[in-house]
Structure 1
């Protein structure tokens, strides 16, 4: 699957665009607006990285969701952003003597006891930190597509192999599902490993390599996904001018854009996707762009 998002403008703005296969050489900028990706799910409207957040994205009409994957003490892959449980769960109350409450220091059973919703709103009390397996089941149930981030891989040796294995076990490495999956990381080594393990997986590097450095990333990443504040039309064009591992132009997903003016500006740069906590706001902005 190639990372360049291509669809009719109306479908893309609605968040229903499909990423074509590596055989496709079409470009988003040629045919439509950027695809909208719900960051940690629709995280402005439900607790981030929970099943509720991806359900909310689906209710809003968005098919692409983004998440973060880390690993428990006993080797379970779980979906959570921070390397500590402190911000998004009640771990301080449940395990007061276990500071600094690192994900890697708790078993899956211990994490399953935590409330991952009350911090956001009483309406979400009792929401749990999902395992990646349960999360993938819900993504499949919702007919969604996933931008999966391997988070803090330096803390979890072998997490790339484990993630790829789980994706395979859950049926996400067949041709049908590969068109609905991107794996990304801030670690170039992690993304290189994923590419070497399963070259058919579309990969993305989170960051802003210099134009001179792009050739170093091209052998193993299909996208370069920078913070929107680091972008310019010139940089996006430079990324698009480099071919990735599937011999197609590199794509660009910008993060994290949460207001209409920024969404319109970044779309004008020619990016292929916009990652946002407020996908409905971005969709409306792009519709009027």
Structure 2
């Protein structure tokens, strides 16, 4: 079974909610997608750039299950996100310092050049040059799926538009789907998976709905990373032969469990 290579950021996050939920924690779409895929039985490798502050992650308990061979580590600080949510879990504001992730595009292009026949998931977020990366993946006929991050989704969807019909799956939330509809005829896309928080997630293929699943109710503690968890779980289950309906049901359940669980703490470097 092919490895899933996940192109994206790994970050140090601070999440904030009006009711005092939230904390400093480990984050980044490349991490959450890779962890979810690995837990669901598919070996996954974050294609990322780690700063010296997170250089110890490959040895950290719980993270050593990942395949870290596709990451590079450079001197400097890793990406940081300051994420502010409302009580319903809608993202209200995001502050970012990309740090060493400014080198992610160059690293991703080099990695794809070395592994042109891999299976990829691309987290379409700044500072990644999605036009260059998706163009290279499409040019070598690699299998790839994509997702977006609402604060940058409008620009990233426009940059990715020419390549989206070649993606196996496009993951969006309800707000991102409305942006997607403004840029491209969604009926031309092989598959779109649309999530909507606690409401039903649906799968559409060339404009026709083929599956839906309502997440089991869970009291939310942390929503950042829920969509990444759904994406990684669903991709892993389908790689093992699950039907789309089965994979969507299990992936929505995994995302619901994720939002009810404690945040992923940033592990301290090992001593000695």
* TM-score of the two chains, using structure 1 as the length reference: 0.37
Choose between structure 1 and 2: higher strand proportion: 2
